[in-house]
Amino acid sequence: MSTEIEIRIGLKSGMADPEGANVQKALNLLGFENVDTVKSAKCYRVIIEGNEETALSEAEKMCQRLLANPVVHDYSISVAD
């Protein structure tokens, strides 16, 4: 049995997000003047062998050890739809 997990990693509130700021500016230049803020994030979909509990636990370890820097990133983990 395998479980597909979605991991979303973004910058913590208050951290500068130059990628998001550049996208926001570009959208404004393209005529989307109502776009006020864009925040960038990464999304990983990982298929892990095991039940949901095991997969969620493994994904948490992945974030702690590699995918997220706890100083600058927040992350969320969920079972993918």
- pLDDT category at 81 given cuts 50, 70, 90 is confident
The number of C-alpha atoms within 13 Å of 68 and in the hemisphere containing its C-beta is 24
Helix (H) or strand (E) holding 18: helix 18-29
> Is domain 2-79 given the CATH code 3.30.1280.10 in the classification?
yes
Q: Are 24 and 35 in contact (CB under 8 A)?
A: yes
Global pTM reads 0.89
Which of 44, 73, 40, 42 is closest to 59 using CA atoms?
A: 44
Domain boundaries, given as residue ranges, for the chain: 2-79
pLDDT value of position 25: 99
Helix/strand/coil for 62: helix
Q: What is the pLDDT of residues 6-62, one digit of tens each?
A: 999 999 999 999 999 999 999 999 999 999 999 999 999 999 999 999 999 999 999
